[in-house]
Structure 1
Amino acid sequence: MALNEQTDVKIDDHPHVVEGSEESEIQKMFSGSTVFLTGGTGFLGKLLVEKLLRSCPDIKKLYLLTRPKKNKDIKKRLQEQFDDVVKFIFHGAATVRFDEVLKKAVEINVRGTREILKLARACTKLRAFVYISTAYSNCHLNEIDEKFYGSNLSEDMLINLVENMDENTLKNITPGLLDNLPNTYTYSKLTAEDFVQKHSQGLPVLVTGGLGLLHSLHCNPQAIADMVPGDYVINGIIAAAWKTAKDYLGNYEHSPVDNFPIVYNYVSSEQTPITWDSEIMYHKIIRKICEKYSKKYTKDLQARMYGGTDRDICIAVVEELKMPISADEFERQLNDLAQKMLPSAPLQRGAERLLTHLHDYKIPMALATNSTEQAVRLHATARPKLFGLFHHKVSVNDPEVFRGKPNPDIYLVAASRFPEKPKPRQCLVFEDSAVGVIAAKEAGMQVVMIPDSRLDREQTRQATLVIRSLMNFQPELFGLPPFDDIPKRKSSIESNPD
Structure 2
Amino acid sequence: MASEIVNFYRDRSVFITGGTGFFGKILIEKLLRSCPGLKNIYVLIRPKAGQDPKNRLQDLLSAVAFDNIRQNHPEFFSKVIPVSGDISRDELGISPQDLQMMSETVSIAFHSAAIVRFDEPLKSAIELNVKGVKRMLSVCKKLENLEVLVHVSTAYVNSTRTELDETIYRPLCDVDNLISTLDWLDDQAANSITKSLLNGAPNTYTFSKSLGEAVLNSEAGEVDFKIVIIRPSIVTASWKEPIPGWVDSLGGTTGWFAGSAAGIFRTMYCHTQMAVDLIPGEFPVNLMVTSAWDALKQNRSQQQINPTVFLASTGQNPVTWAQCKSTMYPLMFEYPFSKAVWPPTGSFKNNTLLHRVDQFLYHIAPAYLLDGAFRICGRKPFMVRLHKKATKVLDCVQFYTTHEWRTRSDNTCALIQRMNAIDRAIFNFDSRTIDWDEYLCTYYLGIRKFVLKDELHTLPAARTRMRRLLVAQFSFRLALAVLIARTLLRKSETARTMWHMFGSTVAGYFVSLTSQLF
User: TM-score, normalising length from structure 1?
Assistant: 0.50
Quote the residue 2:195 is aligned against: 175
Q: 1:375 to 1:131 in 2, by over 3 A?
A: closer
Give the alignment's Cα RMSD to 1 decimal. Answer: 3.0
Structure 1: any 5+ residue segments left out of the alignment? 1-21, 300-369, 378-498
Q: Which SS does the other structure have where 2:278 is aligned?
A: coil
What's the CA shift string for 1:459-489, capped at 9, x where partnerless? xxxxxxxxxxxxxxxxxxxxxxxxxxxxxxx
Quote the residue 1:91 is aligned against: 111
What's the CA shift string for 1:256-310, capped at 9, x where partnerless? x4xx2110010113x002223334434566788xx6xxxx4879xxxxxxxxxxx
Q: 1:298 to 1:59 in 2, by over 3 A?
A: farther
Mapped partners of 2:102, 2:195: distance in 1: 41
Say which of 319, 322, 337 aligns to 1:274: 319
Quote the residue 1:208 is aligned against: 230
Instruction: Give yes or no for contact 1:66–1:74 (8 Å, CA) kept in 2.
Output: no
How far does residue 97 in structure 1 lie from its aligned partner after superposition? 1.1
Quote the residue 2:26 is aligned against: 47
- Counterpart of 2:178 in structure 1: which amino acid? L
Q: 1:141 to 1:39 in 2, by over 3 A?
A: same
- Is residue 2:284 matched to residue 1:264? no
Mapped partners of 2:317, 2:212: distance in 1: 29
Mapped partners of 2:437, 2:286: distance in 1: 25
Matches within 5 A, 1:48-447: 48-67=27-46, 73-74=93-94, 76-201=96-221, 202-211=224-233, 212-213=235-236, 214-217=253-256, 218=268, 219-252=270-303, 255=304, 257=305, 260-269=306-315, 271-283=316-328, 296=335, 374=435
How far does residue 232 in structure 1 lie from its aligned partner after superposition? 1.3
How far does residue 170 in structure 1 lie from its aligned partner after superposition? 1.4
Mapped partners of 1:167, 1:79: distance in 2: 33
Higher normalized contact order (CA 8 Å, seq sep 6+, divided by chain length): 2
Q: Which SS does the other structure have where 2:158 is aligned?
A: coil
Instruction: Give yes or no for contact 1:90–1:129 (8 Å, CA) kept in 2.
Output: yes
Instruction: Give yes or no for contact 1:209–1:265 (8 Å, CA) kept in 2.
Output: yes
Mapped partners of 1:264, 1:105: distance in 2: 23
What's the CA shift string for 1:33-53, capped at 9, x where partnerless? 110000011121111111111
What's the CA shift string for 1:99-133, capped at 9, x where partnerless? 11111111111111111112212222222110100
Q: Which SS does the other structure have where 2:26 is aligned?
A: helix
Instruction: Give yes or no for contact 2:226–2:295 (8 Å, CA) kept in 1.
Output: yes
What's the CA shift string for 1:221-248, capped at 9, x where partnerless? 3222311111111111111111012225
Aligned length: 275
How far does residue 154 in structure 1 lie from its aligned partner after superposition? 3.4
Q: Which SS does the other structure have where 2:192 is aligned?
A: helix
What's the CA shift string for 1:50-83, capped at 9, x where partnerless? 1111111121110011338699932645422211
Q: Between the two proteins, what is the percent identity of the paired residues?
A: 33
Q: Which SS does the other structure have where 2:211 is aligned?
A: helix
Structure 2: any 5+ residue segments left out of the alignment? 48-83, 237-252, 257-267, 339-430, 439-518
Instruction: Give yes or no for contact 2:230–2:284 (8 Å, CA) kept in 1.
Output: no
Q: Which SS does the other structure have where 1:137 is aligned?
A: helix
What's the CA shift string for 1:170-215, capped at 9, x where partnerless? 1222112101001111111110000101101242111001123432
Quote the residue 2:424 is aligned against: none
